[in-house]
Structure 1
Amino acid sequence: MPIMTADKVAKKEKMTIYDSIDDDVLQSYTEYSLTSLLYYALKECAVSEQSSRMTAMDGASKNAGEMISKLQMQFNRTRQAVITRELIEIISGAAAV
């Protein structure tokens, strides 16, 4: 981000097309330019941080979804194994009688 002094701005090619520029106007312009550049830098920093947070949360959400799916599958298989074992015990007991 180029920051220019009032002298540099006054000597710029595009500024010399005007007949005369008051020192107050030139000073106001340079102050406004500096303020705008600082505001832009701060906003860009805030947006960058927000974007990083959103990306991190998206990744965390996807990982949590995968983890839930794996745990649900493990729970279902364990439950199915318990039911199967109980059925085998019932059938074995009925066959013994």
Structure 2
Amino acid sequence: MVGALVRTRVASNGSMVVQVRGNVGEAATVQLRRALLHALLRVRTHRLVVDLRQAGWVDPLGVGTVVAGCDVASDRSVSVVVHRPTHGVARRLRAAGLPGKVLQRR
């Protein structure tokens, strides 16, 4: 089974983008957690975009990691957008406590 690739970049507007491509299992969850913490604690961005448009499925640990990252961002007054998750991933994120206003389906 192919794992995910997690990349980070700074967008032209200064937002930190964490892009996920592929299926998020255990190994990719570790990469995702590191990328989110780096963006929030080291770079100290003002806006975080978690781009899931090219992500396949996300396992429960990955879902928890995204939600926890969004919680940390909120605590640090960083605006967060979870960009284009699949319907199933969006449903699991909401069930795990992610506010619907954070999800950007288009």
Larger radius of gyration: 1
- Structure number with higher strand proportion: 2
Per the normalisation by structure 1, the TM-score is 0.21
The structure richer in helix per residue is: 1
